[in-house]
Amino acid sequence: MRIATWNVNSVRQRTEHLLRYLRDVEPDVLCLQELKCVDDAFPRAEVEALGYNVATHGQKGFNGVAILSRTPLEVEHGLPGDPDDEQARYIEALTPLGDGVIRVASIYLPNGNPPTTDKFAYKLAFMDRLITHAASLLALEEPLVLAGDYNVIPTAQDCADPAAWAGDALFLPETRARFRALLNLGLTDALRAATDDGGLYTFWDYQAGAWQKNKGIRIDHLLLSPSAADRLNSVTIDKQRRGEDKPSDHVPIRIDLI
């Protein structure tokens, strides 16, 4: 099974990018973030025409997450723990895997900047809720993939210029500590299970020639439960997508499970 995650940074602006990726890479499951549209505005018909089931959790102009799957989906919308949170940042689904099921979530974690504002407090609270929910999912002992744009740079190895990110919410100690707490539940960072290499990024800013200078960061992650990690065969960052015309500032990252 091939599972990918991609912050498309406006699905309506990048519908052709999305359809091309589905045709070229043929993921069994694709998790999308930052749709920036309501559910009815998602290009459902075009995606379904390629053989995918579509589950969305949209929001006008901001946020928004989706799961596309070649097999049927049993869907839950929203991250538990705060009934007043109206931001569309989490969607979760069960889908068949062999003679069983796999649970996949598409996550768009808050950016949190500036760190001196309520935005950072919201980021940390969201991460705390995610830790609590992930612990409950791991107790089910199913294959589980928590995929998405975490807006977390886990280590200095995951950015081209650590000093430039020292005061950023993506790299602050509180943020990285919560990411480690997620991993310490028993989750595996798929990329780091496959390689210790540096220079592997999933995001390049549109400004200051970041793409041309390879001044990137790794903030898009697939975290795997033990039974999913046991099936891990390969991890691929589809870096070339950043060089397309009018691309997202993120690129897809995908895993193959046996």
Phi, psi (5° rounding) for residue 82?
-150, 95
Report the run of H or E that residue 90 belongs to, with start and end: strand 90-97
Q: What is the DSSP letter of 163?
A: G
Do 92 and 55 meet the contact criterion of CB atoms below 8 Å apart? Answer: no
CB atoms within 10 A of CB 168: 18
Report the run of H or E that residue 49 belongs to, with start and end: none
Consult the annotation and say whether 249 binds a ligand: yes
- Burial degree of 110 (CB within 10 A; 0-12, 13-18, 19+): buried
Here the tokens at position 88 are 């569309």
149, 158, 168, 189: the catalytic one is 149
> Does the annotation mark 250 as catalytic?
yes
CA distance 162 to 166: 6
Closest CA to 127 of 145, 112, 143, 105: 112
CA distance 134 to 123: 16
Can you tell me whether residue 67 is helix, strand or coil?
strand
Consult the annotation and say whether 151 binds a ligand: yes
108, 150, 220, 221: the catalytic one is 108
> Does the annotation mark 201 as catalytic?
no
Helices (H) and strands (E) in the chain, counts: 6, 12
> Does the annotation mark 149 as catalytic?
yes
- The residues assigned a catalytic role are 108, 149, 250
Annotation: binding site? 7, 34, 149, 151, 249-250
Annotation: binding site for Mg(2+)? 7, 34, 149, 151, 249-250
